[in-house]
A = this chain, B = another copy of it.
């Protein structure tokens, strides 16, 4: 099967970037199958994502990186060149609510998520049977309300041991400590069960019910130290009415959460999400 190199760039916008990069790739014989660009006029920053058929270029990802490096330096690029053969390693963290976990496992099995699921970590035992049935290691790390540091020390150890490229809080329901937010910055994806910035914090569906909103939502975002305030990757909503109880909102919410998290994670794994400041460029 074909594999691809993905070149993702963010840099100050100036004349000739596309020309330079595309000429470089053409010069190597590189066949581009997808190309996306964006100039952010407010910040003056430029973003691009190229997908290149690896076989069209006669060199490894590593050599290609070395060859490209001077251009990156010249244009002051934040950049990455990934090889789709190097599958990302993902750790899922869950609590007792299983809908996101079940959904991600199904999509992973169906080939919708191009990654290895290296491990599942949970503060409860509930999901062990399901996870192990999929052949994935399951780690039970209880979080004591009195002293969470031991638990998060263990979480860190497990994530590092799993060599995780990405951690997904699939309804984990615990707040990560600042140390972990910082250590894995840009690599931890959360699903929040509201249309942020509305109803940040706990029990958002009950807040939504009390406010009498006519739509509820969910938000997939990168985790930062400030709770529920990190860069938003994707959001969606579901219509509700006076007929619906808080339980109905929770039920509808589950469907929105699953869909939004799955899209956000897929885009992240395909290098489609570029963060700048507290916002994202998503080449969906």
Q: Does A156 contact B (CB under 8 A)?
A: no
Contact A35 B18 (CB under 8 A): yes
In the complex, which residues of chain B have a beta carbon less than 8 angstroms from the beta carbon of A56? 15
With A232-B213, A237-B237 known to touch, is A18 a contact of B22 (CB < 8 Å)?
A: yes
Which bracket fits the contact residues of A? 35 or more
Interface string of A229-267 (1 = CB under 8 A from B): 001111111000111010000010011000100000000
Contact B34 A39 (CB under 8 A): yes
Contact A102 B112 (CB under 8 A): no
Q: Does A199 contact B (CB under 8 A)?
A: yes
A15 to B106, CA, bound (A): 38
Contact B19 A26 (CB under 8 A): yes
Interface string of A19-40 (1 = CB under 8 A from B): 1101101110111111111111
In the complex, which residues of chain B have a beta carbon less than 8 angstroms from the beta carbon of A278? 211-212
A251 to B26, CA, bound (A): 32
Integer count of this chain's copies in the complex: 4
Pick the contact of A102 from B18, B106, B211, B236 — CB < 8 Å? B106
Within the complex, what minimum Cβ distance (angstroms) separates A241 from chain B? 7
Within the complex, what minimum Cβ distance (angstroms) separates A191 from chain B? 14
Residue of B nearest to A102 (CB): B106
A15 to B30, CA, bound (A): 7
Residue of B nearest to A16 (CB): B26
Pick the contact of A33 from B25, B39, B233 — CB < 8 Å? B39
Give the most central of A40, A106, A214: most B CB within 10 Å.
A214
Interface string of A94-110 (1 = CB under 8 A from B): 00001100110010001
In the complex, which residues of chain B have a beta carbon less than 8 angstroms from the beta carbon of A162? none
Q: Does A11 contact B (CB under 8 A)?
A: no
The contact sample of 20 A-B pairs, CB cut-off 8 A, is A15-B29, A16-B26, A18-B26, A19-B23, A32-B37, A112-B251, A195-B195, A195-B215, A196-B213, A197-B211, A197-B213, A212-B231, A212-B279, A212-B280, A213-B235, A214-B232, A215-B217, A215-B235, A237-B237, A242-B282
List the interface of chain A (C-beta within 8 A of B).
15-16, 18-20, 22-23, 25-27, 29-42, 56, 98-99, 102-103, 106, 110, 112, 133, 195-199, 211-215, 217, 231-237, 241-243, 245, 251, 254-255, 259, 278-282, 284
Chain A to chain B: the 5 pairs with minimum beta-carbon distance, closest first: A212-B279, A19-B26, A19-B22, A16-B26, A18-B22
